[in-house]
Each structure stands twice: as structure tokens, then as C-alpha cells.
């Protein structure tokens, strides 16, 4: 989510390289985020090649900010 918070969109390969995950591992995480409507998936063709891009939804951004705030509060209480 942090990668999608600072980029409007990222494609599958960019996320895979950035996060150093396998195809299957990344795909399962992205599927879970999509099912919770935290991200939106767009599939299109660029030339003859399929391209899948991901974007954080407004709900996803709000949830991520809440998560960060909770972590900051936890760290601040120690």
C-alpha cells in the first residue's frame, strides 16, 4: 500500500520488483486488497501485450492512513 500511496498507479512488474515478491505471492496479496476494495485493478493492452495496473482507492488510502496513525500511537506509547 505504501507504494500505491506515493504513486498514482503501478503495474504488476513494477510492484513485483519493488517488493521483491514472486508472481504468486504478489497476486494473492493484490487479490485480497481488491476484494476489500482497497485497490482498483485495470487491465488493458499496450500494443499486443496485456498490462495490469493497480491504484489505491480513496477508501484504501483512508484505511492506510488509519493504520499508520495506529502504529504511530503504538510507538508513541512505549
Instruction: For residues 53 and 51, give the distance between their C-alpha atoms in angstroms, rounded to a whole number.
Output: 7
Closest residue by Cα to residue 11 from 34, 44, 37:
44
Q: Which three cell numbers stand for residue 30?
A: 493484490
In the predicted structure, residue 78 carries a pLDDT above the cut 70: no
| Whole-number pLDDT of residue 46 | 86
Q: Which three cell numbers stand for residue 52?
A: 495490469
Domain segments of the chain: what residues?
Answer: 2-76
Mean pLDDT of all residues in 53-59: 98
Q: What is the pTM of this model?
A: 0.86
In the predicted structure, residue 38 carries a pLDDT above the cut 70: yes
| Whole-number pLDDT of residue 56 | 98
Q: Which CATH class is domain 2-76?
A: mainly alpha
Mean pLDDT of all residues in 30-50: 95
Instruction: Phi first, then psi: give them for residue 37, nearest 5 degrees.
Output: 60, 35
Distance of CA 43 to the CA centre of its chain: 15
Q: Which residue has the cell 492506510?
A: 64
Amino acid at each position: 500500500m505504501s507504494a500505491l500511496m506515493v504513486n498514482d498507479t503501478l503495474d504488476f512488474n513494477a510492484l513485483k520488483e519493488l517488493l521483491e515478491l514472486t508472481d504468486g505471492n504478489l497476486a494473492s496479496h493484490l487479490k485480497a486488497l481488491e476484494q476489500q476494495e482497497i485497490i482498483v485493478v485495470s487491465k488493458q493492452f499496450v500494443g499486443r501485450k496485456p498490462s495490469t495496473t493497480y491504484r489505491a482507492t480513496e477508501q484504501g488510502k483512508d484505511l492506510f492512513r488509519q493504520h499508520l496513525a495506529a502504529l504511530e500511537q503504538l510507538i508513541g506509547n512505549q
